[in-house]
Structure 1
């Protein structure tokens, strides 16, 4: 298949790759959602959705690849993401690996675009279109479903990170009816000035821990307590809003239900 990539220019890849190594969690999840799980022969350490991926060999961290293992798998396509994986992309290209970077979405609709893109790339465009139609309907049902509460969102990425303009997460919060207190900030993802947060008058805090953390709600409440914050708190299951595979829309619906239970 020949196509033009915004970063790479003209790209030619196998018409229907059969041995795929996916080093981006969003891409891995999408492949399984499209019914292509049997083609995936390797993953990154951060690809754990769905559970079937855990049986696959771990070819990389998020930014470093195990070259001997990768070559031994003889992939005809390697998938990465953009952004943090940009350096890995260049390393793979220089190593002569057939690699394709799946774009970082700027809105939840970008998740649907990526799904269609992978579907067309791998010869299952009709399946991708049907999946996206269902996800788009699910997303549409969430439009304006919550009151315009002012929200401070924080990801634990080894330190606090939040979102500003141009983030698919910020757009999703707006779609629900919420108001991101940093919506006007000119960076999509950034380390916030925590001392400035109270002046922005948030009505609640949404906190996303790292995945698989025990006592996540208790730990998050304790963290806010050290800052002297008494805001209502919603804690996600970890790596939900920061994850932009098809399950993002399920996680968004779960967030809406958690917020409704607060009865604010």
Structure 2
């Protein structure tokens, strides 16, 4: 089996579980450290000629991470594709289990068993808080309805202020975001690199929690320690400016 992954979290899941199966990944596939496979460009604009040249038995894609036209082009060229789209933690865990089994794993890997255990009883914040969760700036883009990251936060006691929005990634203006009067602003470090100096200043008077994006949005081995890592970050936000 020869697999090319265009999804960073799936790259990590496959490389950790089935070394040798993965033959190609995107330039953004940073985990596991030291991954030595052919690179095929970005997840949004991969070099499909490079992908095909690797003669994959399967290419892994994601509805949010990749473009439909790339999936269609690969399928039209006779390259088998598998498109993932988990919107909840349980769905992600089950989807990962099914994928790894189909790729030849003899059973659920230890990290997946640990992730199931961790999410069966995740730590919750002392009180439920309503949060705005930007994932981009210039323009502002926030988590909306039915997102995987939104479900991750909900299970930790954080209610997404835009969970009822008709769009999955709305683009409200900053005035509207402030008018929501959230208890908390959650700022991940990817896909936009929010830092203590870039983001909190836009929300004076509101505590801002800097969280690792890999633990918030990736579905792979990071799911095993995501509850503890995120709970710690959410429990210690930056002081309100």
Instruction: Check conservation: 1:157, 1:210, Cα contact below 8 A.
Output: no
Q: Displacement of 1:90 after TM fit?
A: 0.4
Cα distance in 1 for partners of 2:146, 2:12 equals 23
Q: Displacement of 1:105 after TM fit?
A: 0.9
Are positions 1:22 and 2:16 aligned together? no
CA displacement 1:67-93 (0-9 Å, x = unmatched): 443333222222111234322100111
CA displacement 1:2-37 (0-9 Å, x = unmatched): xxxxxxxxxxxxxxx2x2111111211111232x12
Tell me which of 207, 210, 221 is aligned to 1:232: 207
Are positions 1:218 and 2:199 aligned together? no
Cα distance in 2 for partners of 1:140, 1:110 equals 13
Moved over 6 A (4+): none
SS in 2 for 1:48: coil
Partner of 1:121: 102
CA spacing shift, 1:77–1:263, aligned 2, 3 Å: closer
Aligned residues: 238
CA spacing shift, 1:48–1:127, aligned 2, 3 Å: same
CA spacing shift, 1:63–1:247, aligned 2, 3 Å: same
Tell me which of 166, 190, 196 is aligned to 2:176: 196
Partner of 2:93: 112
Are positions 1:250 and 2:232 aligned together? no
Give the TM-score, by structure 1 length: 0.79
Partner of 2:141: 161
Q: Displacement of 1:123 after TM fit?
A: 2.1
Instruction: Check conservation: 1:156, 1:209, Cα contact below 8 A.
Output: no
Q: Displacement of 1:161 after TM fit?
A: 2.0
Instruction: Check conservation: 2:136, 2:142, Cα contact below 8 A.
Output: no
Instruction: Check conservation: 1:89, 1:99, Cα contact below 8 A.
Output: yes
Partner of 1:100: 82
Structure 2 regions of 5+ residues with no counterpart? Answer: none
Partner of 2:16: 33
Structure 1 regions of 5+ residues with no counterpart? Answer: 1-16
Partner of 2:46: 65
Are positions 1:89 and 2:89 aligned together? no
